[in-house]
Amino acid sequence: MKIVYKINGKEVPDLQATEQQKEDFQQMLEDKKFCGIATDDTFLSGIPTLNKQFAHPKHHEAVVKAAKRQGYTPKATDYYVPALAQKIGDPRAFLNHGNARGAAKKYCEELGVEADGAIKVKGRAPEKDPYENPKRRLAPKIVDRIMKNKIKNNPDLARVDKRDLAADIIHKHGKQK
């Protein structure tokens, strides 16, 4: 079967390809729909670069400052992907044209996060329960806020030693063993 290719009404020479490839190509020309291309440019298409990504300058500044505190200085041409960030400004959530797909895939694999889209990664169960041993204590501001609410609801607690009240709050709301 001879296939005649027409682009904008003009015949073009036969391609050096298999019959299936020729048929697929002709179908793409007729439909004016082309198959997806998996490159860093297509992976990042539609995502503005860091200098245009945030609607408010304060949000941009907060992410950049957080990244710098973590040892990474973002470039204006980087792409920040919040879905990859473990916390705000996570250096591994900044992608650039040179390694975007590969870096995102590698990071998802490290985290054990499943991805099914522009990159494909099988998920896995966490190696340990992230809620098993919280590393943080109850912040003093939280203890103060809870204490003020308790005193507001029960004025008799104002006469109780603040250290005892704080200890009760930490025992009830803080890190559990």
Q: Is 80 exceeded by the pLDDT of residue 109?
A: yes
Side chain identity at residue 29, one-letter code? L
Residue 103 falls inside a structural domain: yes
pLDDT of the residue at 170: 83
Range of the domain at 163: 140-173
> Tens of pLDDT along 13-39?
665 667 777 787 778 878 877 666 667
- Return the higher-pLDDT residue of 32 and 159: 159
Average pLDDT over residues 34-46: 71
Give which of 136, 138, 175 is closest to 147, Cα–Cα. 138
Residue 45 falls inside a structural domain: yes
- Residue 120 pairs with which residues in a beta bridge? 116
Q: Does one domain contain both 1 and 23?
A: yes
Confidence of residue 10 (pLDDT cuts 50, 70, 90): confident
Report the predicted TM-score, pTM, of the whole model to 2 decimal places: 0.52
Q: Does one domain contain both 92 and 63?
A: yes
Helices (H) and strands (E) in the chain, counts: 7, 6
Residue 127 falls inside a structural domain: no
Average pLDDT over residues 74-100: 87
Give which of 105, 140, 143 is closest to 113, Cα–Cα. 105
Q: Is 80 exceeded by the pLDDT of residue 160?
A: yes
Average pLDDT over residues 37-61: 81
Cβ atoms < 10 Å from Cβ of 46: 6
In order of 60, 142, 166, the CA distances from 151 in angstroms are 40, 14, 12
